[in-house]
Structure 1
Amino acid sequence: MAIQIVMDDTGDSRHFFEQTDPKGLAEVERRFKQLTDQGFTAATRKAGSELKVTRSFDPTAEETLFYPRLVGG
């Protein structure tokens, strides 16, 4: 089972899905596009590897972490 973790100002939300389920993959791909269009940065991890920033949806990633753009001032 894979997971998408979305970090925001309220904490985080976790969305688990089966990578073999076409309907579930369509939903997580939609969420990926929606969040990255909103300015979130996405980083993926496959089993035993480090996080890697990505700009495209990877259905084979075990974990995708979304974090908001940093705002300075």
Structure 2
Amino acid sequence: MATQIVMDRTGDSRHFFEHTDPYGLAEAEQRFKELTGQGFTAATRTAAGDLKVVRSFDPTADETLFYPRLVGG
């Protein structure tokens, strides 16, 4: 089961889907496009456990983390 984790100022939310479910994959890809379109950065975990920024939806990723842009001031 794959997970999309969305971080925001209230904490995080998790969205689960199966790699083999076409409906779940379509929903996950749509969520990816919406969040990155809103300015969220998407990252997947590498085999070594590090995060790697991604610019397009990867249907094989087990975990994708979305975090908002940092705002300084």
| Number of positions where the alignment pairs a residue of Structure 1 with one of Structure 2 | 73
Equivalent residues in 2 for 1:1-73, closer than 5 Å: 1-45=1-45, 49-73=49-73
Contact 1:42 / 1:54 at 8 angstroms: preserved in 2? yes
5+ long unaligned stretches in structure 2: none
Contact 1:47 / 1:62 at 8 angstroms: preserved in 2? no
Instruction: Give the C-alpha shift of residue 46 in structure 1.
Output: 5.0
Instruction: Give the C-alpha shift of residue 8 in structure 1.
Output: 0.3
Q: CA RMSD in A?
A: 1.2
> Secondary structure at 1:12's aligned position in 2?
strand
Instruction: Give the C-alpha shift of residue 45 in structure 1.
Output: 1.9
Whole-angstrom distance in 2 between the partners of 1:54 and 1:26: 18
Q: TM-score, normalised by structure 1?
A: 0.94
Identity fraction in percent? 81
Contact 1:6 / 1:13 at 8 angstroms: preserved in 2? yes
